[in-house]
Structure 1
Amino acid sequence: MTTLLITHPASAQHATPAGHPERAERIRAVEQVLEAERFSDLVRIAAPRGGLDLVTLCHPAEFAEAIIAAAPASGLVQIDADTLMSPGTVEAALRGVGAAALAVDEVMTGKATNAFCAMRPPGHHAESVKAMGFCFFNNAAIAARHAQKAHGAERVAIVDWDVHHGNGTQEIFWDDGSVLYASTHEMPLYPGTGALSDRGTQGTIVNAPLSAGDGSDAFRDAFESALLPRIDDFAPDLIIISAGFDAHWRDPLANINLVEEDFAWATRKLMAIAERRSKGRLVSILEGGYDLEALSKSTAVHVAALMGG
């Protein structure tokens, strides 16, 4: 089993104001924990810069060009109440797109069994024509479309366990029967989407909302009863994980009480489906996670599981 780790220094150059939860220290914490000896077998690659040809798989060119043009030469520009751009934001976001596409390329061609993209800013709140929730371009959605366009994948499953619902991914694939979007998340919570009744026009949206205070049992039950059977029945050619670690009990932005082992368990469950349905092919993309200790420890068990540990 070969696990690929894709990173780039540009991730730390996307600056946010003091006190902002989506900060450069997040990526440094992830990179530091993955330097441990247990991860020495990771194949490490620098993320290429994704071009507009990739971004426009899910976002109109006018939107992408407007985001790029909005980047300041200095200081910060506010996109919405939560989402800001610095001079390094566009490069970081495009490297995130490039990382997602490269991960798909390596996994779909059999050069790696699976891959983890340790990049920021995150992407799953980015809708087709709206940057929001710390996100600019939807890396997971772009990865799915790239797998279809470049590698002939007929069906792709995106599994999102970030504590905040991936409204952008749901919106992009609402009418698409070739991409399954399956999510556990806290409700009510930002961004307010992800109701159990949201199924998309093709029945390929699967939401399993959790309530504030829920912990491991509720999370695992949601996976076992609602998500895993649908993913297995969908028989995807590739599984993509929107891997947010903010459902951890330490995280300051939510109220779900998961522990690190829950993420390892979910990883192994999805890997088992990937083995049955998609030749083991799985790509994981970092989303949220705002307590540095919880983020680093959760990332460590996730990546260890991807490596077969």
Structure 2
Amino acid sequence: MSPPLWFSHPAAIGHVTGGGHPERPERMSAVTDALTRRGWLGYARRTAPPATDAQLTAVHSARYVQALRAMSAGGGGAFDPETPVGPGSWEAARRAAGGACAMVDALLGGEAPVAFCGVRPPGHHAAHDTTSGFCLLNSVAVAARHALDAHGLARVLVIDWDVHHGNGTNDIFRRSDAVLYASIHQGGMFPGTGPLLDVGSGPGTGFSINLPVPAGSDEDAWLSLLEWIVVPAAEEFRPQLVLVSAGFDAHRDDPLGGCLLDAASFAEMARHVRALGTRVGAPVGAVMEGGYALGALAESVIATMGALADDRPPRSVAPDFATSRAASVIGHHWGL
């Protein structure tokens, strides 16, 4: 069997945020240093190419793409106080999106059943013509759109397990029935979106699955929603490709989150997603999003990559009250 694939580029550390910003170059170094010590877990390494303007403007407005490029080329600036741009930011962001597209090409070309895109800055808060929350280009959304446009896919699943709701991805595909977007995230925090009752709109009604959890939620709470809500809906949707917005800030040590996951929790979620992909015959690709405690981030990425590549069955948990409540809403659209 072909080895799993890792996509990244040294430009990731060229996005310099400065001033003690939590989304810092050391995030990438922590991950790659840990992987180097573990022999890259058997993953074959690939260089992330730059995304083309056509790939980017299939998701983002040309005005926004040009504004980001110009701001970076001009020495830097900021879209808001939390989202700085430096001279190396454009290259880092377009390599992140381009790596996600190259990952899609490799997965759909049958080169590997699973892959991981180790990139920064994160992307899932970047919307069509604006951004926030440390994000510049929405790599997962660009990759999903690329799969639909360049490969002729009809159904792409995006699972977002970052502790923050991926409002950008959700908004980009809000009216689409070609992308099923499912997010488990902590409610009552930035960006303040993603309530349970937000199920999409127009032809995309039912194709947004938003599953907020309270602060202090542990592994069982997250796994219950994934196993009993996301997976059954996804099996009915029958995706041809599964993409994961793999944020690791729901880890108990993360300074920006408030949940109680650990590295093993992300491994269990990855096993559920990998098993789903196997059942529906779809390859699985993950793109790194948040995670700001360096040690926790590195160990969580390693655990996720290991779980995507192994054949251990996922751990099952009993549905809890929050899952039953979610089913009362999502069950109007999917057979749970």
Q: CA deviation at 1:270?
A: 0.7
Task: Decide whether the 8 Å contact of 1:72 with 1:85 is kept in 2.
Answer: no
Match of 1:126 in 2: 126
Per the normalisation by structure 1, the TM-score is 0.97
Give 1:141-220 correspondences, 5 Å limit.
141-201=141-201, 202-220=205-223
Identity %: 41
CA distance in 2, matches of 1:41, 1:264: 16
Task: Decide whether the 8 Å contact of 1:33 with 1:296 is kept in 2.
Answer: yes
Code of the aligned partner of 2:267? A
CA RMSD of aligned residues (A): 1.2
1:236 aligns with 2:255: no
Out of 227-236 and 92-101, give the one that drifted further: 227-236
Match of 1:296 in 2: 298
CA distance in 2, matches of 1:259, 1:128: 33
Code of the aligned partner of 1:288? G
Match of 1:34 in 2: 35
CA distance in 2, matches of 1:37, 1:258: 22
Aligned residues: 307
Code of the aligned partner of 2:29? R
Code of the aligned partner of 1:301? A
Task: Decide whether the 8 Å contact of 1:208 with 1:227 is kept in 2.
Answer: no
Q: CA deviation at 1:307?
A: 1.7
Code of the aligned partner of 1:274? G
Q: CA deviation at 1:40?
A: 4.9
Indicate how the Cα distance of structure 1 residues 69 and 272 shifts in structure 2: closer, same or farther if over 3 A, else same.
same
Task: Decide whether the 8 Å contact of 1:80 with 1:132 is kept in 2.
Answer: yes
Code of the aligned partner of 1:170? N
Per the normalisation by structure 2, the TM-score is 0.89
CA distance in 1, matches of 2:55, 2:133: 21
Task: Decide whether the 8 Å contact of 2:51 with 2:97 is kept in 1.
Answer: yes
Out of 112-121 and 101-110, give the one that drifted further: 112-121
CA distance in 1, matches of 2:215, 2:88: 35
Unaligned runs of 5+ in 1: none
Match of 2:327 in 1: none
Match of 1:286 in 2: 288
Q: SS at 1:207's partner residue?
A: strand
Code of the aligned partner of 1:295? L
Q: CA deviation at 1:122?
A: 0.5
Q: SS at 2:22's partner residue?
A: coil
CA distance in 2, matches of 1:200, 1:276: 26
CA distance in 2, matches of 1:185, 1:37: 30
Unaligned runs of 5+ in 2: 312-336
Q: SS at 1:101's partner residue?
A: helix
